[in-house]
Structure 1
Amino acid sequence: MSAVRQSSSHSDILSGSIPATLKRMTVPMIFGMIMLMSFNLVDTFFISLLGTKPLAAVSFTFPVTFTIISLAIGLGIGTSAVIAKALGSKNIEEAKFDAFVSLVLAAVLVAMLAGVGYLLMDPIFTLLGADETTLPYIHEYMNVWFFGAVFLITPMIGNSVLRASGDTKTPSMIMGLGGLINAILDPILIFGLGPIPEMGVQGAAIASVVAWAVGVVVIIYLLAVKKRLLSCSSPTQSTWEAVSKIMKIGLPAAGANMLTPIAMAVMTAIVATYGAQAVAAFGVGSRIESIACLVILALSMTLPPFVSQNYGAGNFARVKEAYTRTLRFVLVWQFAIYIVLLLTAHWVSQAFGNEPEVIEIITLFIYTLPLSYGLQGIIILTNSSFNALHKPMNALILSIVRLFVFYIPCAYIGSHIAGLTGLFVGAAIGNLFTAVSAYMWFRKTLNNMQHERLEVQPS
């Protein structure tokens, strides 16, 4: 039965209605991410009840935790691109072996990176601007988080395998389950209940690790037993060949994703010059951004398998149409989200800020930066589409240009001109410059690839 559904998914991706297919793939992801992101906001809310210092401490952890998550995302992108292209080319056994290798490879690399982070915890967070008042909270949270990082990676890579096969419903359910477990455990472990002692920010980290561990059990069962999408051997390629394929796309993609937390670290350091209240508000703003951009994030997971499978089948016209339609939708959708944020800015700021200054800065954030989220969507989807076309260096260069040519410089200049307001407006202007460049570059690259394919085909 699962084989029939898998075959039907391939057929839809390669020949079905583009809007209908993308909608079918994306809607389940949106619901899964709504649950996951909502529970993350619940996480932030409970931590905010502990006070400004714990909230600021957890805000300091975002760049570091997102560095490891970015490695997982990058390897997931490589996994998805390789497997989806193999499936589009009808190489089913090769795709199964690639899936197995990617799971093992990701676990090893993340464990190594988490180990380095644990050993260098104090120097890293001191460099980010943390002081003696926030470092103890950071240790409570990150000691547990680093230990559980390997449990985070397996469900992420496993979900990439499922999405590459055209199944987005199952990953959304896994994401929702993890978020639900985390949300239930958060208040119990943070504040204590019955025989369970109050653990503060450490409880939030433990809740996350437990949720990830459950996800590991579920995803391994689904891939190995129920859907039979894993194979520990291949008659057509060696382990090193599979590793090379995944790393060729995964490492540049991971590098591109890791630039984001580096940029966040620089932005956090700039914001830290305005005080702990500004850092706390910026951390809340980052969580708000995750919710506001969840449709973009969902599309960044569903558009690449569509692009990769059609690229493997040589359907460049479908790739171009899907890319263009998706960008138009994102611009309209994100503008509507911005209007909603404007109307609810006061309520949102009051909900997550426990000091007048924090509330004021959260409101300022909502009024400025979210206006550019549609442009940010163009950048994110172009980046993921480059990876889907097996052009990881293009994606890496685009990320470098966005963050270190436009985003941070514009934000830094803006902060010198008009303080925090200038910083947020400058970041939005950086998104505008990058979005225009990204769109023009992708269209040119796709046209060149199509012409090259036509030239090598026999007449």
Structure 2
Amino acid sequence: MREQILNGPIEKTLLVLAGPLIVNNLVQVLYNITDTFWLGKLGREALSAPGVTWPIIGTLMALGMGFATAGFAFVGQYIGAGEYEKANRSAGALYSLMTFFSVATAIVALLILPYALRFMRVSENVYPYSLTYATIVFLGLPFSFAFMAFGALMRATGDTKTPVKITLLTVMINIILDPLFIFGWLGFPELGVAGAALATVIANVVGAAIGLYLLFTDRVGISLSIESLKPDFEFYGKLFRVGLPSSIGQSANSFGFVILTRIIFGFGDVTYAAYTITTRLVNFLTGISRGISMAMGTMIAQNVGAGKFERAKKIAERTMLVNFAIASLAVLIIGIFRVPIFRVFLDDPKVIAESKIVLEYFLISVPFFNGIFIVVNRTFSSAGHTKKSMLLGILRLWGLRIPLSYAFGYIRGITILGISIPLAELFGYTSKGVFFGMGMSNFVAAVIALAWFLRGSWMKSIIEKEAKTGDKTSSGYQAEG
């Protein structure tokens, strides 16, 4: 795909790359919806367990995702520059680093889990389910990291089909095992929420094993060997330089959702259940736009590596227009069919009534988040400018979403220069204020992201380019600016 990515028609290439990724996203979200469906049969407490624990899981997985993002940027840019051997060495170093890191992360996760759940103010009804679910998922964290690294490397090469085939298999395993483990069908033990977590871990083990097999048998665009997995501290340094800001940014964002969960839970189980189901539906309907963003990331990385910065900018701009339209259609569909869809998952009048608030005060901002913010953020990270993506993500969540949702949900008002400005009082101290603040954060963050993107400061390569003779060019290694 390299020639087509660098010189082919943008829309056609984007579609070719995005097709498998769209399928991948929709299938993964389909599993989440299936998970929600089966757990909903146990009650809203069990249904809420994955939603409550994923901010904690995401916070720790984000540390590894940052290094995967760095590996993606390096491998993609080396391929764009025609430095294939360096791409292989980079992939091997990424895998070895992720292995060490994931084991350490899993140990820390198990130690802090009970304290994190208490900090989030998880209700006594939901707490035992959340603790069980997260404990099992954390035990399988090394396999999740390995599968995540494999997917990032394949996207960097332009191979978006292979990860999708494996994901399809793992999701099918998940979907089949879910009801068997949750309800004890066909002679399996009845495990409840623990069964849903166990199904997830088993699927990740299968995905990680297949990915490693393909990489070690020269069946995909990247080739690994035992030699390439040996610690490479020089490249680890590069991964840390580029990956650490991304890790910090993504983990800070995920931890931000721990705080956000605490804020939402302040209004009870009903509000959080409505939020959980609604976000699952949005993720499914916006799977298309997220797949396009991921495909765009591959094109950005390789074009930046080849020095085609204006083409990279044009790719990002066109992706924004397409994704904004798709996300807008998704919100419209949910708005029209909200009640019958919710009844499929949880026929609870209180939750269905609460979902209207989530839609009107928060979901209308999703096109700005998916269509502009996400595209800009992925552009920065794919170009290797992870400090920019880190700052942008932290600003959206810690600078805007958390303060605004708390202020409009809990703070009566403020006085500035003698002028009294109502906040939570405007919404009667209800969940409307929280979701209004969340929606407002998406609007403001999108404007800031677009302005930063248009400045063009991300249009620089991060790799060390070499001439055909092996000598370095005068450009050398460009640190992220």
**2:405 maps to 1:411:** yes
1:139 Cα deviation from its structure 2 partner? 2.7
Match of 2:450 in 1: 439
Match of 1:120, SS state, is: helix
Kept in 1, the 8 Å contact 2:385–2:458? The answer is no
Relative to 1, partners in 2 of residues 1:443 and 1:421: Cα closer, same or farther, differing over 3 Å? same
**2:74 maps to 1:63:** no
Q: Which amino acid aligns with 1:208?
A: T
**2:404 maps to 1:393:** no
1:425 Cα deviation from its structure 2 partner? 2.2
Kept in 2, the 8 Å contact 1:56–1:277? The answer is no
Match of 1:170, SS state, is: helix
Output the TM-score relative to the length of structure 1: 0.92
Cα distance in 2, alignment partners of residues 306 and 267 from structure 1: 34
Kept in 2, the 8 Å contact 1:68–1:110? The answer is no
1:435 Cα deviation from its structure 2 partner? 0.6
Cα distance in 2, alignment partners of residues 312 and 337 from structure 1: 34
Bigger proportion of residues as helix: 1
Match of 1:183 in 2: 175
Cα distance in 2, alignment partners of residues 369 and 257 from structure 1: 22
Cα distance in 2, alignment partners of residues 357 and 341 from structure 1: 18
**2:364 maps to 1:371:** yes
Q: Deviations over 1:31-54 (max 9, x none)?
A: 121111101110011111111222
Kept in 2, the 8 Å contact 1:97–1:231? The answer is no
Cα distance in 1, alignment partners of residues 131 and 175 from structure 2: 22
1:231 Cα deviation from its structure 2 partner? 4.1
Relative to 1, partners in 2 of residues 1:229 and 1:286: Cα closer, same or farther, differing over 3 Å? same
Cα distance in 1, alignment partners of residues 29 and 176 from structure 2: 14
**2:270 maps to 1:277:** yes
Q: Deviations over 1:249-288 (max 9, x none)?
A: 2221122222232221122111111112222222223322
Cα distance in 2, alignment partners of residues 47 and 381 from structure 1: 33
Moved more, 303-312 or 291-300: 291-300
Match of 1:288 in 2: 281
Match of 1:330 in 2: 323
Match of 1:194, SS state, is: helix
Moved more, 18-27 or 368-377: 368-377
Q: Deviations over 1:435-459 (max 9, x none)?
A: 1111111121348759xxxxx88xx
Q: Deviations over 1:65-98 (max 9, x none)?
A: 2123323332221111010111111111111111
Q: Displaced runs of 4+ in structure 1, greater than 3 A?
A: 231-234, 446-450
Cα distance in 2, alignment partners of residues 385 and 89 from structure 1: 18
Match of 2:185, SS state, is: coil
Residues 226-241 of structure 1 mapped to structure 2, 5 A cutoff: 226-227=219-220, 228-233=222-227, 239-241=232-234
Cα distance in 2, alignment partners of residues 72 and 182 from structure 1: 23
Q: Deviations over 1:230-256 (max 9, x none)?
A: 24447xx98112212222222211222
Match of 1:5 in 2: none
1:63 Cα deviation from its structure 2 partner? 0.8
* Number of residue pairs the alignment of both structures matches: 442
Cα distance in 2, alignment partners of residues 288 and 249 from structure 1: 33
Kept in 2, the 8 Å contact 1:48–1:354? The answer is no
1:169 Cα deviation from its structure 2 partner? 1.0
Choose the corresponding residue for 2:65, options 73, 84, 87. 73
**2:302 maps to 1:309:** yes
Choose the corresponding residue for 2:242, options 229, 232, 249. 249
1:212 Cα deviation from its structure 2 partner? 0.6
Match of 1:6 in 2: none
Kept in 2, the 8 Å contact 1:249–1:392? The answer is yes
Kept in 1, the 8 Å contact 2:96–2:231? The answer is no
Cα distance in 2, alignment partners of residues 356 and 267 from structure 1: 24
Kept in 1, the 8 Å contact 2:71–2:91? The answer is yes
Output the TM-score relative to the length of structure 2: 0.88
Q: Which amino acid aligns with 1:146?
A: F
**2:113 maps to 1:148:** no
**2:393 maps to 1:382:** no
Match of 2:421 in 1: none
Choose the corresponding residue for 2:211, options 219, 228, 248. 219
Kept in 2, the 8 Å contact 1:36–1:178? The answer is no
Match of 2:438 in 1: 427
Tell me how large the CA RMSD over aligned residues is: 2.0
Match of 2:155, SS state, is: helix
Kept in 2, the 8 Å contact 1:33–1:176? The answer is no
Kept in 2, the 8 Å contact 1:278–1:361? The answer is yes
Match of 2:140, SS state, is: helix
Cα distance in 2, alignment partners of residues 383 and 194 from structure 1: 46
Cα distance in 2, alignment partners of residues 83 and 59 from structure 1: 33
Cα distance in 2, alignment partners of residues 368 and 433 from structure 1: 15
Kept in 1, the 8 Å contact 2:93–2:231? The answer is no
Relative to 1, partners in 2 of residues 1:305 and 1:244: Cα closer, same or farther, differing over 3 Å? farther
Segments of 5+ residues of structure 2 without an aligned counterpart are 410-423, 462-473, 476-481
Kept in 2, the 8 Å contact 1:13–1:21? The answer is yes
